[in-house]
Amino acid sequence: DSGVTQTPKHLITATGQRVTLRCSPRSGDLSVYWYQQSLDQGLQFLIQYYNGEERAKGNILERFSAQQFPDLHSELNLSSLELGDSALYFCASSVGARDNTEAFFGQGTRLTVV
């Protein structure tokens, strides 16, 4: 168990809908990273938050947004969902802002858009 908790584990929703994925980092970790893993694209970095502030942005679509709350948990919001958004979404956390090479991953949320 990495200590990073993601909910829900599975999510099935229809095209055009909006969903929220939640991540609780390991105790003491200030950085949260979001990744998308699909069969055709592999693991892609979406966005990083550090202590409530956006730190780095990767291949995140405009329909997606994230935030990190004062208690350090993070949410990834996906809207106007398309079939191609079906993927595993992982959250990872690390102590510092520059520790992306030493982050711990959660078990992921499997999103299926039908």
How far apart CA 8 and CA 3 sit, in angstroms, is: 15
Interaction residues for other proteins, span 54-93 (CB under 8 A): 55-58, 90, 92
Judged by CB under 8 A, the residue of 51, 77, 102, 114 near other proteins is 102
The letter for the amino acid at 59 is N
Residue 95 interacting with other proteins (CB under 8 A): no
Cα-Cα end-to-end distance for the chain: 31
Going by C-alpha positions, the residue among 60, 53, 1 that lies closest to residue 26 is 1
Q: Which positions from 9 to 48 touch other proteins by CB under 8 A, shown as an x/- string? A: ---------------------------------xxxx---
Q: Which amino acid is at 18?
A: R
Q: Which residues bind other proteins (CB under 8 A)?
A: 2, 4, 42-45, 55-58, 90, 92, 96-108
